């Protein structure tokens, strides 16, 4: 099952046993979403281990976790409407009708195909993520808001867009209150602010007041989510200082929740970050350009691996491209040769749908990486100078 290829939703749902849902309470499912990293905006694994995350990118794990989150809520509500159709209607109801986020998606596609397009577009912070300020926060950090909105939508469709807007505004106010109260802001705090600001869908001129924000948070899952986001915002040096503890205590009172929920949330974020620190982008001390390069390298390597058979076939039919790729392992290509190999590779990409990313605005930035990695990832016949481990 490949979440980057057409038909992945239907195939995934065929693999999901409804007994998994029926045997999992809502609070337990939420905890599993958190352990998978979905709640924190860093998808380390697939929720409930529904499928093996072998060779899945974070984007693909995020797609699966978001879809499974929706499907879990759908099954709990026992609605009569078909899943894909209800979810599409939900996204239509919360989109801006004047400049719809999905205005180019709502067409004559089949429900499953349309839903795949919606989810693909929704998980990214921006469409042109390749070039925009070398932004390496590729995954939207507030996707659980979509799930909470869908839960409300299945119960009552009226005024659902207003609900989602208010929920986002409330989260923004509460989380930013935590960070702004810190006397000294670390790189983590600055990165988290950028991540949240980029993830917020509905931009408001002014933040809600704290009291207005608290008044919006009423449902059990909303409360758990707020507490986890606050603990995420408080985490800097694995220590909750006095000001942060006072804020959490106030939040506990205002939301009328048990103290054990606060304690568990603090422990959960510490455990998650300690275990996955190297895998969470905004915990990295690398600069933006280096992080962009590292993440882009992973994307390109995965694309080459997944399409290696097709690439071998296409490259075998292009002697000049094959020659230039071989030469690139021995010397730097001239400007003219670079242009030739780029032109020929773009022609090849047109015939391989999975490589369409290189045809997007900014995709040309990834071509040098492609030229660098392809000789190493394809059979050794493409690289006469390669020394295998067995030959060292």
CA atoms within 13 A on the CB side of 387: 3
Percent of the chain with pLDDT over 90: 31
What digits encode the pLDDT tens for the residues 250-284?
A: 999 999 999 999 999 999 999 998 898 777 766 65
Residue 239 predicted with pLDDT over 70: no
Token duo for residue 385: 């100078």
Token duo for residue 207: 């933040």
The predicted pLDDT at position 54 comes to 63
Q: Name 20's Cβ contacts closer than 8 Å, sequence gap at least 6.
A: 48, 50
Mean pLDDT of the chain: 79
pTM of the model: 0.73
Partners of 124 in the β-ladder: 139
pLDDT band (50, 70, 90) for residue 49? confident
Q: How far apart are CA 195 and CA 178, in angstroms?
A: 15
Q: Which of 360, 348, 347, 362 is nearest to 304 (CA)?
A: 348
Element of type H or E holding 31:
helix 26-35
What digits encode the pLDDT tens for the residues 108-139?
A: 578 888 899 889 888 876 544 344 433 444 56
* Mean pLDDT confidence for 232-240: 75
Q: How far apart are CA 136 and CA 129, in angstroms?
A: 8
Locus of tokens 């005024």: 159
């Amino acid at each position: 099952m490949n979440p980057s290829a057409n038909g992945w939703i239907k195939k995934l749902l065929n693999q999901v046993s409804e007994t998994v849902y029926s045997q999992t309470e809502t609070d337990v499912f939420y905890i599993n979403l958190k352990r998978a990293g979905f709640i924190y905006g860093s998808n380390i694994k697939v929720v409930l281990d529904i499928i093996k995350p072998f060779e899945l990118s974070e984007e693909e794990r995020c797609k699966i976790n978001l879809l499974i989150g929706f499907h879990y809520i759908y099954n709990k509500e026992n609605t009569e409407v078909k899943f894909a159709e209800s979810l599409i209607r939900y996204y239509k109801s919360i989109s801006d009708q004047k400049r719809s986020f999905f205005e180019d998606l709502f067409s004559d596609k089949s429900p499953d195909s349309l839903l795949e397009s919606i989810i693909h577009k929704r998980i990214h912070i921006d469409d042109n993520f390749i070039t925009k300020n070398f932004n390496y926060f590729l995954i939207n950090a507030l996707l659980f808001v979509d799930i909470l909105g869908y839960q409300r939508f299945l119960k009552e469709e009226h005024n659902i867009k207003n609900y989602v807007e208010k929920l986002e505004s409330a989260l923004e106010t509460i989380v930013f209150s935590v960070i702004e109260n810190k006397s000294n802001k670390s790189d983590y705090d600055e990165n988290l602010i950028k991540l949240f600001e980029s993830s917020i869908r509905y931009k408001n001129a002014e933040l809600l007041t704290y009291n207005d924000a608290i008044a919006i948070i009423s449902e059990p899952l909303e409360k758990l989510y707020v507490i986890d986001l606050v603990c995420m915002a408080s985490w800097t040096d694995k220590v909750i200082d006095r000001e942060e503890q006072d804020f959490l205590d106030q939040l506990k009172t205002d939301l009328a929740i048990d103290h054990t929920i606060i304690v568990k949330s603090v422990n959960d974020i510490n455990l998650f970050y300690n275990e996955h620190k190297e895998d969470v982008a905004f915990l990295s001390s690398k600069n933006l350009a280096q992080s962009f390069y590292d993440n882009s390298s992973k994307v390109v390597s995965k694309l080459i691996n997944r399409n290696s058979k097709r690439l071998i076939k296409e490259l075998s039919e292009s002697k000049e491209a094959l020659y230039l790729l071989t030469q690139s392992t021995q010397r730097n290509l001239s400007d003219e040769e670079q242009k030739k190999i780029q032109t020929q590779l773009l022609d090849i990409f047109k015939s391989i749908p999975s490589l369409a990313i290189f045809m997007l605005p900014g995709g040309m930035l990834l071509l040098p990486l492609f030229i660098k990695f392809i000789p190493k990832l394809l059979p050794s016949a493409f690289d006469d100078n390669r020394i295998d481990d067995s030959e060292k």
